[in-house]
Amino acid sequence: MVSLTIKEYCKHSKKHLTFAKNKNIIPVPLFDKLMNCIGSIERNKDGLFETIIDESDPIKIPLKNHTALSVIEISCNIKGKIKNQKLVSYDRYNILIKLYSDKTNVCYRKDLDSDKIKDKLPHVNSKRLITQFHFDMRKKGTHTPEPFFHLHFGGKSNPDDMGWFPVAIKEPRFPFPPMDILILFEFILFNYFPNESYEYRERPEWKQIIKRSQNLFQYCYFKKCIDFLDAHNSTLLESGSKYNL
């Protein structure tokens, strides 16, 4: 059975997402997807959960006041099991965030981009991928020396996105704890809507929700790091792939 704490997590999460929607902090399409994600945890009595937001139908968050960017697109594929109040195991974990611009001076850089880019822009809604990053879990069998949970900038993208940066450049992977959809939501608010969301993020009720999420989805990760530091002479980054850090 899912613990009472997890049931409370779902109940209060839905309550505060509803509040955020009513205050126009999040748009209705985003609210619907977030509620479905929370519902996935709530419906499965054995603790299993799955959150899939396909890249072909991502969450889209407009950036109306940004000088360079125009929209954030978020997709994810997460599957796991809540084993107890502070332990979650994962079968799949991938969150992709794409940052696009429709600003003419950003999409086409005269001194850097070819005329082909300029000609193609009107056929892709005059929008261009500026950057993207993944929150990932190392895949089984990979030989890439990367932390088990990590943040990876760049990566392969759709050719029609006409990404700013060459995919051939091998970007580093940074250790990063796993997130649920609510911690991800706070990440977006904190980084891209800091002023607009400040009052909301300062609410004690919201901080309590995020703390519940951190205890549930991140406590085990940080405990592993601390235990490793106490027991090993190697570095966290060097041994992350070996010890699932």
Q: What residues make up the domain containing 112?
A: 4-239
Measured CA to CA in angstroms, residue 57 lies from 63, 73, 179 at distances of 18, 9, 21
Let me know: does 205 contact 115? Beta carbons within 8 Å.
no
Residue 245 domain-assigned? no
Q: What are phi and psi of 86, to 5 degrees?
A: -135, 25
Question: For 143-152, 180-189, 197-206, 229-238, which range has the lowest pLDDT when averaged over its residues?
Answer: 229-238
Residue 244 domain-assigned? no
Q: What is the pLDDT of residue 117?
A: 78
**pTM assigned to the model:** 0.84
Residue 204 domain-assigned? yes
Measured CA to CA in angstroms, residue 178 lies from 33, 77, 128, 135, 149 at distances of 19, 13, 28, 8, 6
Structure confidence by residue, pLDDT tens digits, 118-132 = 777 766 667 888 889
Report the pLDDT averaged over residues 164-180.
80
Measured CA to CA in angstroms, residue 97 lies from 103, 126, 143, 156 at distances of 19, 19, 24, 13
Structure confidence by residue, pLDDT tens digits, 151-169 = 988 877 777 777 777 666 6
Residue 226 domain-assigned? yes
Total domains, the chain: 1
Binning pLDDT at 50, 70 and 90, where does residue 178 land?
A: very high
pLDDT > 50? residue 150: yes
Residue 215 domain-assigned? yes
Percent of the chain with pLDDT over 70: 89
